[in-house]
Amino acid sequence: MPVLVVGSVALDSVETPFGKADDVLGGSATFFSAAASLLTPVQLVGVVGADFPLEKLKALVDRGVDLAGLEHAEGLSFRWRGRYSHDLGAAETLETHLGVFSRFSPKIPEQFRNAPFVFLGNIDPRLQLEVLNQVKRPRLVACDTMNFWIQSRRPDLIELLKHVDLVTLNDGEARQLSEQVNLVQAARWIMNCGPKHVIIKKGEHGAFMFNADSVFFAPAFPLESVFDPTGAGDSFAGGFIGYLARTGDLTDANLRRAVMYGSALGSFAVEKFSIERLLTVTRADVDTRVRELRQLVAFEEELRA
Amino acid sequence: MPVLVVGSVALDSVETPFGKADDVLGGSATFFSAAASLLTPVQLVGVVGADFPLEKLKALVDRGVDLAGLEHAEGLSFRWRGRYSHDLGAAETLETHLGVFSRFSPKIPEQFRNAPFVFLGNIDPRLQLEVLNQVKRPRLVACDTMNFWIQSRRPDLIELLKHVDLVTLNDGEARQLSEQVNLVQAARWIMNCGPKHVIIKKGEHGAFMFNADSVFFAPAFPLESVFDPTGAGDSFAGGFIGYLARTGDLTDANLRRAVMYGSALGSFAVEKFSIERLLTVTRADVDTRVRELRQLVAFEEELRA
């Protein structure tokens, strides 16, 4: 089944201790699509400026990403420049040029409006709500957000949460949104706003999925070298929703498997700049990494006489 | 089988956002013993001053901790005063009075020298080496350490590592010791110094066990309220080694189970001040928490047609 993603398509310039890359593909919808398209067809809605090197998106099209919803606007594309220090923790943002993204108003093409799975990437919650007004009863709606919207658009974000089934956010954002230090309490606070499932991403420390009556934890794959953390969260979301869309199964058991696919795709994303690694990885590679993640936490209970 | 622990027995004064406690039981050997004694007999070697309220140790004796190796010295006991801020991250040390601990020279009682399992708590690596000169071919020797010794006693610590089977340390210490940012590389560096197993504790983010050809990850239990993080690492070690000593089984499968017992005991330790919670928890409670940890990471692989 197809998944519809609405989010940013950007040009990133990134410096890490291991190198730098200029004007490479970035943005939440880009990373999400690169990951999800390994598992299921993807329908992308976003905007690029007249300066955008469209040929760079061909690899996504070849993988089954439908760009019918990618608006080509007058003006400059969204550009982000960031730097990671030696510990590869949070990026330091050096420059952000919203360009055409500042006037983005998502228009969902008619043929995308029946998408059974919808991912609202990290954009203004008012725009995320606009998307929901255009789609027809999807089976699952998930959204992401960030500190900027939590601070500047809190009422809209709270309104959005009433209309989504699942939210993904990182630990700092979960704490900021809920004003709870403890993640279990933060997740409960967020679920009380509406979503049935809350996924709290902790980067190299793995991810929690909280449901009404259970908690699941997926470890992050212990990579020997992390090259560029940009896009790990959106790739995680792409793996997660992509797996759900491929299987069409929303049972708890399958949601757990989906989180493992999210973790696997997130781990591939950081192995190279931009979506480079996601474009070379195969379905077999992904399945292998999920099995490795399973081995990482596997233990047998004691046999009792 | 008994486990021998050598380490500090202290009086802690702790402030957290949830309250404060003065002159409560603390120290690496104390937390280790409180945790391990739930699973196996413990032999403790340490030192206290003339001011130590010995009656506080009665609960440990009742649980099977043999204090024949607890030296009673002239002078004041080791006291530590620390404070945790709202996020319950690293403690801020306000005062440290080593007292009799500054002249500690561990003397292993004759009846402890055959202990099959030995845990060298976080003390001067020269003293840890002295202990190894007094014991008779234990089946497993594990040690802990900290930033202070890594910096001030590096050559001794490297020498110690040649003689231990397993080392436990936290992520910051692993990076400091190995001068590797990446934990996989840090663990390999440490294993190259001698130990067959390296356990890297990440507090609320769980723990890795690295072996020559495998990695295991145990999640931390997602507690709704963490009361006082003091002693979590030593309680983890107590659960881990205690389980190994109880089962006497050093296979990889059992080492994995032991790490889960470590995680369980660490999670109990932080629920109250000092060893309070460890003294009320039962073996059944521990087994239940291990099962909950197992559920936390449990997922079934996809059935393929």
Which of B217, B221, B227, B252 is the best mutation test for A, with the most CBs of A within 10 A? B217
Q: Tokens 């024949």 correspond to what residue?
A: B68
- The answer to whether B186 touches B178, Cβ cutoff 8 Å, is yes
State the Cα–Cα distance between residues A64 and A41, nearest whole angstrom: 5
* pLDDT at residue number A303: 58
Residues in B touching A206 (Cβ below 8 Å): 205-206, 219
* Residue of B88, B257, B301 lying closest to A299 (CB–CB): B257
Q: A284 and chain B: CB distance < 8 Å anywhere?
A: no
Contact: A217, B297; criterion CB under 8 Å: yes
Tell which residue, A13, A11, A96, has the closest CA to residue A46: A11
* pLDDT at residue number B259: 98
Q: Tokens 């190198």 correspond to what residue?
A: A19
Reading the block at residue A70, the tokens are 């990618």
- The answer to whether B289 touches B282, Cβ cutoff 8 Å, is no
Query: What is the pTM assigned to this prediction?
Result: 0.94
Nearest CA in chain A to B223: A184
H or E stretch including B126?
Answer: helix B125-132
Torsion, CA B177, CA B179, CA B182, CA B187, rounded to 10: -40
The pair phi, psi for residue B301, each rounded to 5°, is -65, 155
Confidence of residue A17 (pLDDT cuts 50, 70, 90): confident
Reading the block at residue B6, the tokens are 């050598």
A260, pLDDT greater than 60:
yes
Q: B172 and chain A: CB distance < 8 Å anywhere?
A: no
Residues in A touching B299 (Cβ below 8 Å): 216, 253, 256-257, 259-260, 294
Residues in B touching A217 (Cβ below 8 Å): 219, 222, 296-297
- The answer to whether A142 touches A118, Cβ cutoff 8 Å, is yes
Q: B221 and chain A: CB distance < 8 Å anywhere?
A: no
Size of interface A-B (CB pairs under 8 A): 94
A251, pLDDT greater than 50:
yes
> For A144-183, how does the pLDDT look when each residue is reduced to its tens digit (9 = 90+)?
999 999 999 999 999 999 999 999 999 999 999 999 999 9
* Residue of A205, A215, A219 lying closest to B222 (CB–CB): A215
Average pLDDT score over residue span B273-296: 96
Reading the block at residue A224, the tokens are 């020997």
List CB contacts of A81: < 8 A, sequence separation 6 or more.
Answer: A12, A13, A14, A93, A94, A95, A96
Average pLDDT score over residue span B168-190: 96
Residues in A touching B294 (Cβ below 8 Å): 299, 301
Residues in B touching A302 (Cβ below 8 Å): 247, 257
* pLDDT at residue number A185: 96
> For B26-51, how does the pLDDT look when each residue is reduced to its tens digit (9 = 90+)?
999 999 999 999 999 999 999 999 99
A18, pLDDT greater than 90:
no
Half-sphere exposure (CA, 13 Å, Cβ side) for A273? 18
Confidence of residue A245 (pLDDT cuts 50, 70, 90): very high
Shortest Cα distance from A234 to chain B (angstroms)? 21
* pLDDT at residue number A293: 96
Total Cβ atoms within 10 A of residue A87: 12
* Residue of B214, B219, B256 lying closest to A217 (CB–CB): B219
- The answer to whether B150 touches B176, Cβ cutoff 8 Å, is yes
Shortest Cα distance from B154 to chain A (angstroms)? 23
Shortest Cα distance from B279 to chain A (angstroms)? 24
The strand pairing partners of B210, in sequence order, are B198, B215
> For B95-133, how does the pLDDT look when each residue is reduced to its tens digit (9 = 90+)?
999 999 999 999 999 999 999 999 999 999 999 999 999
State the Cα–Cα distance between residues B98 and A131, nearest whole angstrom: 63
State the Cα–Cα distance between residues A145 and A125, nearest whole angstrom: 8
How high does pLDDT run on average in chain A? 96
Reading the block at residue A162, the tokens are 């009433």
Q: B185 and chain A: CB distance < 8 Å anywhere?
A: yes
* Residue of B217, B297, B300 lying closest to A253 (CB–CB): B300
Contact: B297, A257; criterion CB under 8 Å: no
List, edge to edge, every strand of the sheet that includes B78-83: B19-26, B10-16, B78-83, B92-97
| Greatest CA separation for chain B | 74
* pLDDT at residue number A304: 54
Shortest Cα distance from A82 to chain B (angstroms)? 20
Length in residues, chain B: 305
Nearest CA in chain B to A215: B296
Pairing between strand B78-83 and B92-97? Answer: antiparallel
* pLDDT at residue number B89: 76
Shortest Cα distance from B191 to chain A (angstroms)? 15
Confidence of residue A87 (pLDDT cuts 50, 70, 90): confident
Torsion, CA A258, CA A262, CA A268, CA A269, rounded to 10: 150
> For B192-247, how does the pLDDT look when each residue is reduced to its tens digit (9 = 90+)?
999 999 999 999 999 999 999 999 999 999 999 889 999 999 999 999 999 999 99
> For B68-78, how does the pLDDT look when each residue is reduced to its tens digit (9 = 90+)?
999 999 999 99
Shortest Cα distance from A267 to chain B (angstroms)? 14
How high does pLDDT run on average in chain B? 95
Q: How far is CA A272 from CA A14, A227, A259, B105, in A?
A: 11, 5, 22, 52
* pLDDT at residue number B304: 54
B62, pLDDT greater than 50:
yes
A27, pLDDT greater than 80:
yes
Q: B134 and chain A: CB distance < 8 Å anywhere?
A: no
Which of B200, B201, B297 is the best mutation test for A, with the most CBs of A within 10 A? B297
Residues in A touching B223 (Cβ below 8 Å): 182, 184
List CB contacts of B51: < 8 A, sequence separation 6 or more.
Answer: B76, B77
Shortest Cα distance from B253 to chain A (angstroms)? 6
A305, pLDDT greater than 50:
no
- The answer to whether B29 touches B121, Cβ cutoff 8 Å, is yes
- The answer to whether A209 touches A198, Cβ cutoff 8 Å, is yes
State the Cα–Cα distance between residues A177 and A187, nearest whole angstrom: 10
B305, pLDDT greater than 50:
no
State the Cα–Cα distance between residues A113 and A45, nearest whole angstrom: 11
State the Cα–Cα distance between residues B279 and B268, nearest whole angstrom: 10
What is the ipTM score, two decimals?
A: 0.90
Q: B205 and chain A: CB distance < 8 Å anywhere?
A: yes
